[in-house]
Amino acid sequence: GAVVSQHPSWVICKSGTSVKIECRSLDFQATTMFWYRQFPKQSLMLMATSNEGSKATYEQGVEKDKFLINHASLTLSTLTVTSAHPEDSSFYICSARDPTSGNNEQFFGPGTRLTVL
Amino acid sequence: SQKIEQNSEALNIQEGKTATLTCNYTNYSPAYLQWYRQDPGRGPVFLLLIRENEKEKRKERLKVTFDTTLKQSLFHITASQPADSATYLCALHMGGKLIFGQGTELSVKP
């Protein structure tokens, strides 16, 4: 099946710094990618939908100025957590939709563990 | 808004038995429903998709049912193995997005 990678797999940063997470579709072109956040023992919460070449669509309650999303190519979307604070510590997961898949299936990356000190 | 509920308590079963996980939702039925497996510290892995006009779907030891009247999907793993231990998530496809349940943790004891 299709493969989605994320980088880095984990990151520790100081409060107030910005962190960039990359999401890549390795063997298909993804016009749409999604960013999720997951706290321990909780569900994946959709943060935003990233469309190649256009602005991301953010879910209600997600600060677009804090979580900057860029989908500059058909295989890469980035999420930048600006001025990170300890409450931003979470597991961030991206997914990509393969437009050639008849099921509108989403393929998930392995996730990035962010810890803000 | 759509609400999804999965068995919140962990499910512990003996190897070889059938595990049955439940996913209930409120409001309107989705075009299709998906089940994912998630291991600790990893992203979800797609298992099965079932459409609203399908009653049942099978894949090897996995079986999913979808009852739009009850607004419920059941996920079965037959002849369960310790390697099946993981958290299983159901997700509804609504308006181009996936909405996830909180997951059920399954533990299969040898």
CA angle centred on B102, ends B100 and A60, rounded to 5°? 55
Range B69-78 average pLDDT: 94
CB distance A93–B43 less than 8 Å? yes
CB distance B46–A42 less than 8 Å? no
Residues of chain B neighbouring A44 (CB-CB closer than 8 A): 44, 89, 100
pLDDT in tens, B16-46: 999 999 999 987 777 789 999 999 999 999 9
Reduced to 3 states (helix: H, G, I; strand: E, B; else coil), residue A86 is helix
pLDDT tens digit at each of 117 positions of chain A: 689 999 999 999 999 999 999 999 998 888 899 999 999 888 999 999 998 888 899 999 999 999 999 988 889 999 999 999 999 999 999 999 887 876 667 899 999 999 999
